Amino acid sequence: MTADMRERLIVGLDVPTVREAEAIVRKLDDEVTFYKIGYQLAFAGGLDFARELAKSGRKVFLDMKLLDIDNTVASAVENIVKMGMTMLTLHAYPKAMKAAVAAASGSDLCLLGVTVLTSMDEQDMMDAGYEYDPHTLVLRRAEQARIAGMGGIVCSAEEASAVRRIVGPDMAVVTPGIRPAGADKGDQKRVMTPADALRAGASHLVVARPIVKADDPRAAARAILAEMATVK
């Protein structure tokens, strides 16, 4: 069961340099096979590193949260397909999702719609000018992603159960903001433990700081995988 969970645990390489990312991957060795690369590392040589990880047989979740005019989104997706990435995020705006789905057609790239960032709560949404509370907007965007033909959704584990009911059993539900019991929440406001997130309907868990900042990242990853494996 733990081996199966390696396909569902995504370690966020949220570090400032490729050298540090390489060190983490070495420490985790074959304990982890799936990694997320976001803005911080991407702009420090992380895109080339992402290609290297993919060539080595590891899976890569490229967290770029794309949003632009349709043609630009489509062109970006076409190039990302060529990189051999496993997952790619874009903001769940209907036109952007439609353009991305068309561009990725025939490939194995799983497109994920970002609903509402897990660092945002209701007050943050109001401050940004949204008329919906986080939960309502997440569900609205999940439905739009399903209609657009996206491969999955990124949402808080708190919304995973409701999202799963909307998108059905086949779409991925990827949940960041995962924190083992007793871990520091950091700047995340909507968090959940690994086991509870899986029970809520998540297909994949994104864990960064609790692993990459741990004194022993390998042991931290192993403990999370063991907790995940308790979920039937």
The per-residue pLDDT for 192 is 86
pTM of the complete model: 0.90
Give the C-alpha separation, 99 to 97, whole Å. 5
Distant-in-sequence, close-in-space partners of 55: CB < 8 Å, separation ≥ 6:
84
8: tokens are 């569902």
Nearest alpha-carbon partner for 11 in 218, 227, 229: 218
The per-residue pLDDT for 172 is 97
Distant-in-sequence, close-in-space partners of 141: CB < 8 Å, separation ≥ 6:
92, 113, 115, 116, 153
Q: How confident is the model at residue 90 (pLDDT cuts 50, 70, 90)?
A: very high
Section 33-41 average pLDDT: 97
Q: 87 has which bridge partners? A: 61, 110
**Feature table: binding site for substrate:** 14, 36, 63-72, 118, 179, 188, 209
**By mean pLDDT, which of 96-100, 127-131, 161-165 is the weakest?**
127-131
Q: How confident is the model at residue 1 (pLDDT cuts 50, 70, 90)?
A: very low
**Feature table: binding site:** 14, 36, 63-72, 118, 179, 188, 209
Which residues participate in catalysis according to the annotation? Answer: 65
Q: Whole-number mean pLDDT of the chain?
A: 91
Tell me if 92 sits within 8 A of 141, measured CB to CB: yes
3-class DSSP state for residue 127?
helix
pLDDT reading at 44 higher than 50: yes
Nearest alpha-carbon partner for 88 in 100, 102, 98: 100
> Over pLDDT 70: what percentage of the chain?
94
The per-residue pLDDT for 122 is 82
pLDDT reading at 184 higher than 60: no
230: tokens are 């308790």
Give the C-alpha separation, 184 to 186, whole Å. 6
Domain 2-229 has CATH 3.20.20.70: yes
Section 197-208 average pLDDT: 95
pLDDT in tens, 151-180: 999 988 888 999 999 999 999 999 988 988
**By mean pLDDT, which of 30-34, 102-106, 109-113 is the weakest?**
30-34
Type of residue numbered 214? A
